[in-house]
Amino acid sequence: MTRTNPVRVLNVLGTTNLGGAESRVMELYRALDRNRVQFDFLVHTDQEGQYSGEIRRLGGRIYHVPRFRVYNILAYRRALCRFFGEHSEFAAVHGHMTSTASIYLPIAKRAGVPVTIAHARSAGVDQGIKGLATRVIRYPLKYRADYCFTCSAEAGEAVYGRQWVAGGHVWTIPNAIDAQRFAYDAAVRGEVRAELGLADHFVVGHVGRFGFMKNHGYLIDIFAELCRMRDDAVLVLIGKGELEEEIRAKVQRLGLADRVRFLGNCLDVERYYQAFDYFVFPSVFEGLPGSVVEAQASGLCCLVSDQVTKEVALTDLVTYRSITEPAANWAGEIMRNAKAALGREDMRAAIAARHFDVREQASKMEAFYISGKNPPGSVTGGV
What confidence tens digit (pLDDT) does each residue in 120-149 have?
998 876 777 777 777 888 889 999 999 999
Percent of the chain past pLDDT 90, that is, above it, reads 88
Tell me the mean pLDDT in the region 314-335. Answer: 97
For residue 198, report the phi and psi dihedrals to the nearest 5 degrees: -120, 25
Residue 363 pLDDT more than 60? yes
> What confidence tier does 98 reach under pLDDT thresholds 50, 70, 90?
very high
pLDDT, residue 231, reads: 96
Residue 383 pLDDT more than 50? no
> What confidence tier does 381 reach under pLDDT thresholds 50, 70, 90?
low
Tell me the mean pLDDT in the region 354-379. Answer: 92
Cα angle 76, 82, 84; round to 5: 100
Question: 277-316 pLDDT, tens per residue?
Answer: 999 999 999 999 999 999 999 999 999 999 999 999 999 9
The sign of the CA dihedral 338, 294, 183, 354 is positive
Measured between alpha carbons, how far is 49 from 310 in angstroms, rounded to an integer?
Answer: 32
Query: What Cα–Cα distance (Å) separates residue 303 from each residue in 188, 189, 234, 238, 329?
Result: 23, 20, 16, 17, 11
Q: In what order do the strands lie in the sheet with 37-43?
A: 62-64, 37-43, 7-13, 92-95, 115-120, 147-150, 170-172, 378-379
Tell me the pTM. Answer: 0.91
Percent of the chain past pLDDT 70, that is, above it, reads 98
pLDDT, residue 129, reads: 74
pLDDT, residue 21, reads: 94
> What confidence tier does 152 reach under pLDDT thresholds 50, 70, 90?
very high
